[in-house]
Amino acid sequence: MSRSLLECYWTSLTHWQRRFNPFLSRPQFLPRSPSIRLVKPLSARPFPPPSRYFSASFAMENPQTKPPKGLPLVVDASSEEEYSSQSKLLKEFIDIPIVDKAWTFTSSSGSQGMFLVSQPNLLENKKRRYILSNTITKGADSSVNFKWAPFPVEMAGVSAMVPSPSGSKLLVIRNSENDSPTHFEIWGPSHVEKEIRIPRSVHGTVYSDGWFEGISWNSDETLIAYVAEEPTPGKPTFTNFGYKKGNGADNDCGSWKGKGEWEEDWGETYAGKRQPALFVIDINSEEVYPVEGIGKSLSVGQVVWAPKVEGSQQYLVFVGWPSDTRKLGIKYCYNRPCALYAVKAPTSKSEVHESDHKATEAETMVKLTETISSAYFPRFSPDGKFLVFLSSKSSVDSGAHSATNSLHRIDWSTERKPCQGAKIVDVVPVIMCPEDGCFPGIYCFGILSEPWLSDGNTLVLSSYWGSTQVVLSINILSGHVTRISPSNSDFSWNILTLDGDNIIAVCSSPVDIPKIKYGVVEKASPEAIWSWLDISSPISICSEKVRSLLSSQQFSIMKIPVSDVSESLPKGATKPYEAIFVSSKSKKHDKHDPMIVILHGGPHSVSLSSFSKSLAFLSSLGFSLLIVNYRGSLGFGEEALQSLPGKIGSQDVNDVITAIDHVINMGLADPCKIAVLGGSHGGFLTTHLIGQAPEKFAAAAARNPVCNLALMVGTSDIPDWCYVETFGSQGILSYTEAPSSEHLAAFYSKSPIAHISKVKTPTLMLLGAKDLRVPVCTGLQYARALKEKGVEVKVISFPEDVHGIERPQSDFESFLNIGVWFKKYCK
């Protein structure tokens, strides 16, 4: 029986049996296969009853003995206790709350804060989000006190929350999971003032993805601009007599709806989502107006209101991504061309109808950034004189999916009218080769909606700086950049919100759970000095066991010298790269803890010195961690980053091996007890390393790894990535939807599967079956090839997961299996 038929059989049978026996967890007469075995997901043990949660995972192992009766097929008697103990510890780490966002509101009595906090809900397989409020008071001695509400309030079913500019209203959006209307709720201080239901005939779900997402109140707090899926077009209707003219009802039992023409989406995490379009809602009249004059080939997002002038037409500024030909995957891909546009905001039905009949796209929409290939995150200065935005022009121009950002501004017209092709002023350029210890450039992936200090010219944001995240202040007139989080800290800092001229941030490290910090300016210009106060918070909590385990660990950021320096390398690519080393504080006589090498994806991403629940869990099992930021990572300047495209599978592999040898030579690791773990491009490196250095690793685990570029290029949502990373600067010019045989040969030669014959390391593969970025077929091919040559391999497939494998149960089961796998082979 084929795997797909077997899964369908089991799923249908299990559903039928549960209808009559809800306590039955699985059919008892399921046929077994020696090579492919369906397993009960370990995320369901020991927490939810196994009958409620089941995924069609499968393992490819050759069991030496038949499991005792009554035990799960995947867990033998010797492993049962290990799974049980590790699952309990992992649950304690999973329960640590994380702050996602924060807002502050000023009143006559002081400030109030509102924190959006999240925790995984394993039983429901969703994130649980809740609000925790506080009152902020300041003492005469410059002390700051946060008085927290006694209990948080869960925000069940909430897709987005956006306070109005004055803080007197709160917009709450609830997207439905079916064809029900989208709910807009306007909350006042004590009750819901308005509840507006918007049917699917007007638009689909509101985008709350953090990228296309844009929800903006106007200054009068009467209109809200936002981005939502355009309404679904009519589908053809058929009956027993054939095609039915007109648009029949969906629930007509005598007919059925056809599928209509296929519509391309933006790839990974956007499967099935319709084109993002711009709308305005009047909260008084409850009318929704689609914004007209925007080309059908333009996807829109990140909308903000332009400054208002009394008696003049209001404008909206938004980001537009063209898609004249193919929509390539946009998640984590900042190399998609985009620009800022301005359009007149409709405020009545008559204006909408007037624009339908009289205006053309050229007359109503103005392209503001004609001379630059990328522009996003628009923010107006408080006085309305400047429009500031980030750019990923280095990504767009080079083809690298992410690269060093630049910051720019446009001088906004005193008449508050948009100007076609306005002059763009460079505020902070791309930094090519930073001096040692100096500002490496901007690496920012989110800006506060109100990021300004009271002088109106200083913007604050979080940015990567080597292996850390820091808080920066930038003067948009002079371009002067200041690091305002502590320069002597190896912790990572992320800004949450402003409280006047003070900053509320979160600070953490690989061995320290996130803590709230309050930044206060001690000295005014020319060089402001910031002090950071510790804030006691119910958010910064964990179990006593977790606290004890973390307190026994330490971390450092190492500089790793480049081993393959050549004259062809630019200066920035010859400088040392970094690795974060996490280890036990206690010294063991002539013995070292086994070490896990952690490799980030991208490749143009970075592993930060911030707290990670999953990595803290692994280190608490008794492993040292070597977290390598090989050349090509973000945070080290553009020359180092651009040195990798065209050299994947060689330069990055050598950097990882050099880092491993570095810690071994320092006497910090046992060369016989090393495991390697990576996802996406980190999985590419993991599978390359066990092929190119087969004697070096005792165990390996790969999450959605890139194993065969020749297979991936024809199935991924980002085939251009394969070209750029394989061919370097020529890749963007060589890209085609129909690769030649020469291209396919080059892709194969760069891939881990080219080294499959040398692999002998026991390997765990964790795959998301709905991954559009690195489709599951690439990982399965590699696993089958390992099995064919007798290498021990285990595969767990998560049927509903995409590239990130981030659903709570899947993430839990993934890292539980990684922990057990590594303990088994790195004793």
Active site positions, annotated: 680, 771, 803
Packing angle, helices 651-665 and 681-692, rounded to 10 = 70
Q: What are the residues whose beta carbons fall under 8 Å from the beta carbon of 660, sequence distance 6 or more?
A: 597, 626, 669, 674, 696
Closest CA to 458 of 538, 366, 369, 381: 381
Packing angle, helices 613-620 and 77-94, rounded to 10 = 130
Closest CA to 450 of 498, 509, 515, 508: 498
Element (H, E) at 79: helix 77-94
Q: What are the residues whose beta carbons fall under 8 Å from the beta carbon of 190, sequence distance 6 or more?
A: none
Q: What values do phi and psi take at 355, rounded to 5? A: -65, -30
Closest CA to 45 of 817, 654, 822, 697: 817
CA dist 330 and 412 (Å) reads: 29
CA dist 122 and 809 (Å) reads: 6
Tokens of 551: 């307190």
CA dist 77 and 131 (Å) reads: 44
Q: Which residue has the tokens 């996802």?
A: 679
CB atoms closer than 10 angstroms to residue 417: 14
CB 450 within 8 A of CB 498: yes
| Four-residue CA torsion sign, 152, 153, 157, 159 | negative
CA of 261: how far to CAs of 232, 234, 235, 770, in Å?
Answer: 12, 10, 9, 22
Phi-psi category of residue 190: left, alpha or beta, with phi > 0 → left and psi -120 to 50 → alpha: alpha
Contacts of 742-749 with CB under 8 Å at 24 or more apart are 743/713, 744/710, 744/713, 745/710, 747/708, 747/709, 747/710, 747/712, 747/713, 747/722, 748/708, 748/709, 748/710
SS (H, E, C) 523-534: ECCCCCEEEEEE
CB 813 within 8 A of CB 125: no
Q: What are the residues whose beta carbons fall under 8 Å from the beta carbon of 685, sequence distance 6 or more?
A: 599, 630, 652, 653, 656, 676, 678
CA dist 503 and 497 (Å) reads: 6
- Burial of 232 from C-beta contacts in 10 A (0-12 / 13-18 / 19+): middle
462: DSSP letter: E
Q: How far is CA 528 from the centre of its chain?
A: 33
Q: How far is CA 408 from the centre of its chain?
A: 25
CA of 269: how far to CAs of 125, 278, 337, 770, in Å?
Answer: 17, 20, 19, 9
Closest CA to 53 of 66, 63, 43: 43
Q: How far is CA 44 from the centre of its chain?
A: 25
Q: What values do phi and psi take at 476, rounded to 5? A: -75, -10
Angle at 537 between CA 531 and CA 540, to 5 degrees: 100
In this structure, which amino acid lies at residue 67? P
Closest CA to 397 of 718, 642, 738: 642
Q: 362 by DSSP, 3-state: which?
A: helix
CB atoms closer than 10 angstroms to residue 85: 13
CA dist 439 and 391 (Å) reads: 18
SS (H, E, C) 394-439: HHHHHCCCCCCEEEEEEECCCCCCCCCCCCEEEEECCCCCCCCCCC
